[in-house]
Structure 1
Amino acid sequence: MASVSLSKKLSNSRYNNWVKASLAVLITKEGIEPFVEEEIEQFQQKCLTDICNNHGLPSGTICTNCCTENVVNCPTNKICNVKHRKCSYHKDSATSFLLAGCPNKICHNFKTEIQKAHRYNGPSYKNTDAAQWCSKSWEVAKCFTPPDGYKDVVSASETDFNGVNSVIINCECFQTKVTDDLSKNGNIFDKGREIGKAVRHAPILEVVDNDLKQYFIDLDNLLSDTGHLISDNNAKLARKRLSELQNDTLLIGKDDVRKVLDDVAKVAHDNIKTQGDEFIKEAEKRKLELIETTKKSLETLGNKENITLAEVDKVLKSSIDELEKQTKVSLKRIKKATDKGVKKMKTETLKESEAAVDQVKQAANEELQKVSAANKQKEEEEYIAAKKSEYKHLFHTIQR
């Protein structure tokens, strides 16, 4: 029944809207990635320069020896908690907290700079490897992403829209390049983050027309911020592509469509593994069916790298039709199996009823036999009693 419900909802173009919204999020993310990477790299280099200047170290001093555990105090809330004198985060001597600090005077001071730069004073140290803070700027960026799910990403392109927006919002260095107040709820990047979440976690892969229209407005506002992005070439290109997508004139890369489908498929797989609610699991499975059907339909377009929105719409309609077809076949199988089961159940019930009747008859016969035997015994007793009375009377008569 879930598949039927899903296909009916999608048949009225809301699935098309969802794909459009997903592509809009992807285009926006690609439009701000270079800006975010550049700012984080500048923040990384400023931290290293300030550390060297403030602590009398030669310019260019770095450290690649300290792991994150070495610079994170034990215990630290939400990262490690000591129980029974043992810590699951600081497991051994190699991963213990260094009370004396980094031998090169870099890493513990770098941690302090990251801590000061975090808007909410809560860096996500579980995501990052301090040994790479001096060499890979995105390891620094990961301190400003949400606490879970970003440990293995190595660049902005591998980080989802939620993570990229979180870096901008949480790292205060970005405020100098953004006109909107990043400390306030509902700022342009906060709205962008919420759009990404809504699309990525849409329960039945649909977006209504009014929401889609607002998504385009909010994402365009994000890319048009007058602090920096309004003049950024990557953001300009993203705004142009967003406009073409909204007006159905954009040529779309097949790989981009696959990318947004694979991204949501990953979320669905994760939900199936972690969710305890069977209804949610079933909904996620239906979502995966639609995604896989859509990807197969994409293959019917041949070796084209770019496709029109009209071709995308055709693929999506084909996917929905195929899902409905599969659903009808499944329902026929279920009905056939149900009818067979009902017939079998009726036969078994009839046999059980007949057996029950036989048992009742047998019990009744046994009871009748008992009654008959009891009546016969009573008649014999009455006959004997009558005879005894008769003989007694005769005996008294003879005596007289």
Structure 2
Amino acid sequence: MASYKDILKEKENHNWFKGALALRLTKAGLRGLVDGDSCRLQQKIHSSVLQARNLTAGTTCKLCLTENLLRCPTNGLCTHPRNCKYHDSPLKMPRRCPTQVCDDFRDKICAVHIYGRPSWKNTNADQWCTNHWQVAKCFMPPDGYKDVTSFEETDFNGIISVMVNCSEFQRSLSFNISSKSTALTEAREIGRHIRHSSDLKVTDTDLADYFASLNSLLTDSKFLASDNDAQQAVLQLKQLNLEKGPLSMSIEDVRELLKEASAMIEVGKRELAESAVTGKQDLEVVVSQGKTVIETGKRELAESVETGKKALECVVSQGKNDIETCKRELAESVEIGKKALEGVVSHGKNDIETFKRELAEIAETEKQEIEGVVSQGKIDIETGKCEIDETLSKSKAVIETGTRRLEEKMSECQTALETGKRQLEDAMTTAMKRGKLEIEDAVTKSRAVVQVGKRELQETLQLKKEVSSPSEAEQIKDLRQRLVKYYQKQLNSASISPLLSDKDERLDKLYVPPNIVEKDHRRIGADRQQNSSPSSSYKQIFCTDEGLAKTVFVVGEAGMGKTLFSAMCAMKWATPFSVSIRDSRERGYDQSEEGNDCFEQPLLNDPVLRNVECEYKRYLLSLSYGDRDGLRR
């Protein structure tokens, strides 16, 4: 027999040891997830049971065994109540929990098991309220885990089974754990291959696949990718995979691995043996039940056959008697029917003969009556013709007499109509003459009344004018107030740009005073370089040494602000009439001045003034270029 040192020298044996170490490292990496979620599941079920039953927090039950909470029979545990090897003592008989905690705990465990079949053989119900690993064992395989009490004592297959069968782990994993092929099922298959390897050998290809699958599980993005235990295991797996030579293990490590492998093999054998025994017992029970059912079926079938035979004989005998009775009744009925039919036929023949005779008599009588009616009709027709001829002759005479009378009446009516027409014309002439005279009299009277009313109205208006006619000063003041309101309404705003004609802004915010320079119009054409003085106030623009200037022309390029300047002049003129006297004097205006009025009239809106503008342009151009006559033409 070769020693373990010789086994370690072979490549595939070396790979098997690597695979076993990889499972051990992966199990350690899953500790935080499995142990933590199992603990949270146990606490969650316990608190929900207490809350549903309105029990005090911390209430537990240690009086119930697992057998007490399962009815008999239960699939996978016991199959026959009379010979149950699971409920084998009075203390293990099914009953309800005194505190009602364990019954609800059992139902909650079934609810979170993906397949609804917890492994009741593994767990102790009296520790459900205090030990979370007893709850976790409900999701492990049914055999081989009854004596494990913690995560460390549970092998890799048991840990993976908890994650596969418990729906609570779905919250911590990114893939669907109920699918047929997942990272968990692949890890479980790796454990089975290594655990059940008869020669403890693994090829290089299989080993690479094992490492890839285990690494994929430990780097799941939802929880394990950020778990310290899992990431430490990933690093160790990477180091183990990169190690090409013989593993640097001590004798104790090898013995530990071999012992663990032997333990896994023993567990597998135990599971197989227990499964075989359980299967044999279940098969024996099923066979026994089958035999009992077959014997019972045979007896019931024999009894049913005998009963059916007797019932069939009775039915056949009764049927024969009924057939004979029916034959006799049918023969009697046929005889009676035959006699009745013969009587009916005979009676029918007599009726037919009688009907024929009566029909012949009726036909003869009807024929004679028709002949009499026809002869009488001929006589009546001849008589009617004579009477019609007489009536026609009488009618002609009456029509001629009526026509003559009608002509006479029409002649009389025409004469009366002519007479009435003449009388109506005479009456209309007389009435028109009389009405004309009456209308002329009424018009004469109305004119006199109108003249009198007109004189009275003029006198009244003259009196009212003398009483309420405003003075010229008041009319001027009223005109100024109207101009002020008009300017403040119409000239208070202007468009920002010709491109934005619908966007207006207040004039006092938008207005920028233009650069106005005073020039002598008499020297514009002769000296273009004449000295000019800037005008910085309205007084310099509109006033001279003698007083207000008669005419001021503001000349400039398009878009330089001439229109806004004229509008601002009107607004400035209107300001003293809407502010206090003190404010107006501070701005250079005196309200006491008479005759200083401002009228703003755009040339574009007045065709007459537009002609004046054209004439002024011609005049300026003639001064500049000297061809006055030609420009005027």
TM-score range, shorter chain: 0.5 to 0.7
**What corresponds to 2:107 in structure 1?**
112
Q: Distance in 2 between matches of 1:275 and 1:222?
A: 28
Aligned amino acid, residue 212 of structure 2: I
**What corresponds to 2:158 in structure 1?**
163
The one-character-per-residue Cα deviations of 1:10-62 (angstroms, maximum 9, x if unpaired) are: 75410000001100010000110232011001000000110011111111111
| 2:93 maps to 1:96 | yes
Question: TM-score, length-normalised on structure 1?
Answer: 0.63
Q: Distance in 2 between matches of 1:271 and 1:164?
A: 15
Kindly report which structure 2 residues correspond to 1:6-25, keeping only aligned pairs within 5 A, or say none. 12-25=10-23
Equivalent residue for 2:198, pick from 189, 203, 210: 203
**What corresponds to 2:120 in structure 1?**
125
Aligned amino acid, residue 170 of structure 2: Q
**What corresponds to 1:236 in structure 2?**
231
The alignment partner of 2:62 has SS state of coil
Q: Distance in 2 between matches of 1:237 and 1:223?
A: 10
Equivalent residue for 1:186, pick from 166, 181, 187: 181
Runs of 4 or more consecutive aligned structure 1 residues displaced over 2 Å after TM superposition:
6-12, 249-260, 266-276
Aligned amino acid, residue 70 of structure 2: V
**What corresponds to 1:52 in structure 2?**
50
The one-character-per-residue Cα deviations of 1:234-290 (angstroms, maximum 9, x if unpaired) are: 0010000000101119976866544332122124456778989xxxxxxxxxxxxxx
**Distance verdict in 2 for CA 1:22–1:150, change over 3 Å:** same
Q: Which structure has the higher relative contact order (CA within 8 Å, separation 6+)?
A: 1
Q: Residues 165 and 192 of structure 1 are in contact (CA less than 8 Å); yes or no, is this contact kept in structure 2?
A: yes
**Distance verdict in 2 for CA 1:255–1:115, change over 3 Å:** farther
**What corresponds to 2:171 in structure 1?**
176
Q: Distance in 2 between matches of 1:47 and 1:125?
A: 17
The one-character-per-residue Cα deviations of 1:98-149 (angstroms, maximum 9, x if unpaired) are: 0xx2111111110000000100011000011000111111000000000100
Aligned amino acid, residue 20 of structure 1: K
**What corresponds to 2:41 in structure 1?**
43
Aligned amino acid, residue 94 of structure 2: F
The one-character-per-residue Cα deviations of 1:211-250 (angstroms, maximum 9, x if unpaired) are: 0011110000010011100000000100000001011199
The one-character-per-residue Cα deviations of 1:281-303 (angstroms, maximum 9, x if unpaired) are: xxxxxxxxxxxxxxxxxxxxxxx
The one-character-per-residue Cα deviations of 1:329-348 (angstroms, maximum 9, x if unpaired) are: xxxxxxxxxxxxxxxxxxxx
Q: Distance in 2 between matches of 1:45 and 1:270?
A: 31
Which structure is larger by alpha-carbon Rg, 1 or 2?
2
**What corresponds to 1:216 in structure 2?**
211
What are the ranges of 5 or more consecutive residues in structure 1 without an aligned counterpart? Answer: 277-400
The one-character-per-residue Cα deviations of 1:343-384 (angstroms, maximum 9, x if unpaired) are: xxxxxxxxxxxxxxxxxxxxxxxxxxxxxxxxxxxxxxxxxx
Kindly report which structure 2 residues correspond to 1:1-400, keeping only aligned pairs within 5 A, or say none. 12-82=10-80, 85-98=82-95, 101-248=96-243, 257-269=254-266
Question: TM-score, length-normalised on structure 2?
Answer: 0.41
Q: Distance in 2 between matches of 1:8 and 1:271?
A: 26
Aligned amino acid, residue 41 of structure 2: F
Q: Distance in 1 between matches of 2:208 and 2:169?
A: 28
Q: Distance in 1 between matches of 2:195 and 2:136?
A: 22
**Distance verdict in 2 for CA 1:231–1:218, change over 3 Å:** same
Count of paired positions = 270
Q: Residues 216 and 246 of structure 1 are in contact (CA less than 8 Å); yes or no, is this contact kept in structure 2?
A: yes
The alignment-based identity, stated in percent, is 39
Q: Distance in 2 between matches of 1:40 and 1:272?
A: 28
**What corresponds to 1:372 in structure 2?**
none
Q: Distance in 2 between matches of 1:272 and 1:61?
A: 41
Q: Distance in 1 between matches of 2:168 and 2:258?
A: 33
Aligned amino acid, residue 63 of structure 1: C
The one-character-per-residue Cα deviations of 1:142-181 (angstroms, maximum 9, x if unpaired) are: 0000010000000111111111000001010000000011
Cα displacement (A) at 1:86: 2.8
**What corresponds to 2:486 in structure 1?**
none
Q: Distance in 1 between matches of 2:269 and 2:50?
A: 49
Cα displacement (A) at 1:210: 0.3
What are the ranges of 5 or more consecutive residues in structure 2 without an aligned counterpart? Answer: 274-633
Q: Residues 143 and 271 of structure 2 are in contact (CA less than 8 Å); yes or no, is this contact kept in structure 1?
A: no
Q: Residues 144 and 267 of structure 2 are in contact (CA less than 8 Å); yes or no, is this contact kept in structure 1?
A: no
Cα displacement (A) at 1:81: 1.7
Q: Distance in 2 between matches of 1:50 and 1:174?
A: 18
Q: Distance in 2 between matches of 1:198 and 1:42?
A: 32
CA RMSD of aligned residues (A): 2.5
Q: Distance in 2 between matches of 1:224 and 1:187?
A: 14
Aligned amino acid, residue 31 of structure 2: E
Q: Distance in 2 between matches of 1:186 and 1:9?
A: 34
Q: Distance in 1 between matches of 2:61 and 2:88?
A: 22
Aligned amino acid, residue 260 of structure 2: D
Aligned amino acid, residue 168 of structure 1: M
